[in-house]
Chains A and B, each alone.
Chain A
Amino acid sequence: MKWLAIVPLAFIGVFYFYPIITIMSAGLAPDGILSLRAFETIFASDYYRKVLAFTAGQAALSTVITIVLALPSAYIFVRYRFRGKTLLLALATLPFVLPTVVVAAAFSSLIGARGVVNALLISIFRLSEPPIQLERTLTIILIAHVFYNYAVALRILISSWASQSPRLEEAARMMGASGWRLWWFVRLPLLRPALIAASSLVFTFTFTSFGVILILGGSRFATLEVEIYQQVTGLLNLPIASALSLIQIMFMFILLVFYTGSQRRVAVDQQAAATIARPPRTWRGKLSIVGVLLLIGGLLIAPMLALIVRSFTAGTDGFTFDHYARLSINPRDSVLYAPPLEAMANSLVFAAITTVLAVIMGSIMAYLLYRARSTVVRLLDPLLMLPLATSAVTLGFGFLIALDEPPINLRSSLLLIPIAHTLVAMPFVVRSILPALRSINPSIEDAARSLGASGWRLWWQIQLPLIARGLFVGAAFAFTVSMGEFGASAFIARPDTPTAPIVIFRLLGQPGATNYGGALAMSAILMMVCAIAFIGIERFRSAGIGEF
């Protein structure tokens, strides 16, 4: 088993570190000598400092808002039993698996200039222009980030909270603690590891935000990730792009060490996960449930509904299937541009390959980490998460310059996309399987050994069935991650075989109601595909499985 770990380690070495190091050395040591000029430029320039400050600032702000909304929601989910709770939690989690381009399309169809809310307000008050103008503002970026990450934080907090003994809180109440003192002295300190885990994860996701900023923020806003994209594609300034990438990777690695460390301490004892939820008895309890319903309905479900509605109504006064019908037509009649539906088929194939690769290598890695006793192996945990935190643009560009010449020549190979997606999907697989492995009672393994099962048979007969749920969850995550990946694909996809998100991005960027409608229809389809995979996640995810 141990030797098998060479496969995923070699994969990461060849397809992550080799391209990243290649692009870094091309950028930072163009003549073979390390030059730190790019860093000097960055730190001396007001502009880059602003980009850095904005990246960290918006991530911090998004994290704070997300946690502030998720914390009371988690409390209500743990505390109260009410009808439709499971469905609500599932719907709240759906945004997390949606591609950024779909999220952008969803928000533009809800509160964009041509969105549902504005259309309604215009027709009611007979206005000449849309009253809500959030496009290209910080507000809409923050809303989208909360939309994405609310459920991530909610899940982590709920599973940690539900596995705590309700006696602790009762003991505190018996000793006179109530109200804010119960929160300050008992609940929050007990939740600390979960709060750190949730915050560092949300911060990581928002710090590296790319699609949301690029599409919803427009040219006014640039995170590091967007800036790297501009430097590479617009300005062809490789040294600056590499330096920015390196800064981002370092920063994220520190954060991930925090995250994986705290995740080990959030020991979710699945047996102990007590059901302390009760029907609400007081009007305050009932009111707080209504509050959560409104929050999830308004913030998370409304944009998804609006997307579906607009995909049938955009550009007309009534109801139309036109946008869907046009998806099978090559809009430019060009050899290089495939019809959108073909892109969807490409995406499905890429996602299937990604799922297989990510599940096989992810489960080997999870097993290695589960067995890990030494600090060196434990450091692999955050290292493995690094592709999540690496600029997708850097990775994509790294692929272009490192993998198209000997020793590894994959130039314009269709395999490049699933390989890149696997790097991003693998952390999700590992994080789904690892907690399942850690929750196996060690005496079960001892019992199997004493009965004669060891090595492969132990894995095949005992451990694998016990982590099967985690495995399915990981597979579904890998699938949706691949369906939605945009940053790296934008670089490495061949023009004649684009993925679905790339086509949506192209359509969104082109003028005209037809393109806009096409983007919405395509997004709606992509959303449905992800939702179907996601139903798989929900069916197999039991309480506490999966650290996302």
Chain B
Amino acid sequence: MFRAEYITRSFDAKPALSAVSLSVKAGEIVCLLGPSGCGKTTLLRIIAGLETPDSGEVWFADQRMNTIPAHRRDFGLMFQDYALFPHLNVAQNVVFGLKMRGMARDEQAARLRTMLELVGLTSFERRDVSSLSGGERQRVALARALATQPRLLLLDEPLGALDAALKDRLAVELRAIIKSVQLPTIYVTHDQREAFAVADRVIIMNAGQIVQADTPSAIYHHPQTAFVARFLGMNNIVHVERVEDGHAITPIGTFSVDAPLLLFHPDGITLSDASGMRAVVRDVVFLGDAFRITVDCAGILLTFKHNARAVPMRAGDTIGIAIDSASVLPLTSD
């Protein structure tokens, strides 16, 4: 449906994007995930037509979009700060794009009602945008971006300005709304929880390049590079001493993985009785739904989660742990 090919862009001789390609299928939600400055927003702006690439092409349904200006691409874009027009009320904001297209007034009114219903803001028409809460503004911005029934929806950190609890709830709602209108969507965020909750496919970016693209669960269970693992909060990364016959030898054992760098996936580490591997507890943090335990195992720090009402250990205690060899994963360094 949509594809961008070999997009390259630099600012003042500093490369922001180097030959990035991506595609979006009909009805698919793709998340661009990465730390700030990784080029994800620049890519989104190039797709929107607000920025021009130095080289590379943007295609939509076999139409080359490079020369088509933003206002004629018929893509919807929602900004992080929402960019609601302060001089217009909620209804005027939502129908702005329809007005630009010269839609008849009664049609505009009908579309306005549908949109406000969709985002759950009926009876908000005459409200001033400055009187809205963060969550309400976000919905108005979404309704405005959807009102013109764009061919492609672009979202730039749409939940970035909201607090954690609201974020979780709205991420699910947002996905439901987008799925209900079956719109191909590119969603930019730096929050992996948000990306996993919303996306069909996640594209992780770093330093202007794509480092991994897959479904949320595949990325979570099989991060491929050290950057991706660290970005997802998995820091159990171990440098292999040497590899013999396809077996990696580390201070905490030998594993049948042929790679110089290993990830001990936190999900594969569990507490065990004294028969397990011996480790000294460094740190226990209560997370609410679980405890996060950091242990020192033969000079290597491993962190994992333990699900229980209470843990009978403190920093300095010696405990036993078990490592599931299936969750010892090869990583490429970056």
Q: A residues engaging B (CB < 8 A)?
A: 165, 167-168, 170-178, 181, 185-186, 189-190, 192
The answer for the CA separation of A172 and B71 in the assembled complex, in Å, is 8
The 5 closest A-B pairs by CB, nearest first: A175-B97, A167-B83, A176-B100, A171-B83, A178-B71
B309 within 8 A of A: no
Contact at A173–B50, with CB atoms within 8 Å?
Answer: yes
Given the complex, which residues of B lie within 8 Å of A185, measured CB to CB?
96, 99-100
New A-B pairs, 16, CB < 8 Å, besides A171-B83, A175-B97? A171-B77, A172-B100, A173-B50, A173-B70, A174-B50, A174-B70, A174-B75, A174-B76, A175-B76, A176-B101, A177-B71, A177-B100, A181-B100, A190-B85, A190-B86, A190-B87
Most chain A CB neighbours (cut-off 10 Å) among B48, B87, B99: B87
Contact at A189–B71, with CB atoms within 8 Å?
Answer: no
Most chain A CB neighbours (cut-off 10 Å) among B75, B96, B144, B145: B96
Closest A residue by C-beta to B154: A174
Given known A165-B83, A192-B87, contact A174–B77 (CB-CB < 8 A): yes
B108 within 8 A of A: no
B81 within 8 A of A: yes
CB-contact partner of B148 in A167, A175, A190, A192, under 8 A: A175
Distance (whole angstroms) from the CB of A188 to the closest CB of chain B = 10
Q: B residues engaging A (CB < 8 A)?
A: 48, 50, 69-77, 79, 81, 83, 85-88, 96-97, 99-101, 144-145, 148
Closest A residue by C-beta to B75: A174
The answer for the CA separation of A23 and B71 in the assembled complex, in Å, is 62
Contact at B96–A167, with CB atoms within 8 Å?
Answer: no
Contact at A167–B81, with CB atoms within 8 Å?
Answer: yes
CB-contact partner of A172 in B48, B74, B81, B96, under 8 A: B96
Given the complex, which residues of B lie within 8 Å of A172, measured CB to CB?
85, 96, 100
The answer for the CA separation of A31 and B221 in the assembled complex, in Å, is 98
The answer for the CA separation of A443 and B50 in the assembled complex, in Å, is 36
Given the complex, which residues of A lie within 8 Å of B73, measured CB to CB?
174
Given the complex, which residues of B lie within 8 Å of A168, measured CB to CB?
83, 85
Closest B residue by C-beta to A164: B86
Contact at B48–A174, with CB atoms within 8 Å?
Answer: yes
Contact at A186–B85, with CB atoms within 8 Å?
Answer: yes
Contact at A189–B77, with CB atoms within 8 Å?
Answer: no
Given known A173-B50, A190-B86, contact A178–B97 (CB-CB < 8 A): no
The answer for the CA separation of A186 and B85 in the assembled complex, in Å, is 8
Given the complex, which residues of B lie within 8 Å of A176, measured CB to CB?
71-72, 74, 97, 100-101, 148
Closest A residue by C-beta to B148: A175
Contact at A175–B100, with CB atoms within 8 Å?
Answer: yes
Given the complex, which residues of A lie within 8 Å of B145, measured CB to CB?
174
Distance (whole angstroms) from the CB of B127 to the closest CB of chain A = 18
The answer for the CA separation of A171 and B100 in the assembled complex, in Å, is 12
The answer for the CA separation of A354 and B210 in the assembled complex, in Å, is 64
The answer for the CA separation of A190 and B87 in the assembled complex, in Å, is 7
Closest A residue by C-beta to B150: A174
Given the complex, which residues of B lie within 8 Å of A175, measured CB to CB?
71, 76, 96-97, 100, 144, 148
Distance (whole angstroms) from the CB of B325 to the closest CB of chain A = 50
The answer for the CA separation of A165 and B83 in the assembled complex, in Å, is 8
Given the complex, which residues of A lie within 8 Å of B85, measured CB to CB?
168, 171-172, 186, 189-190
Given known A176-B100, A181-B100, A185-B96, contact A171–B79 (CB-CB < 8 A): yes
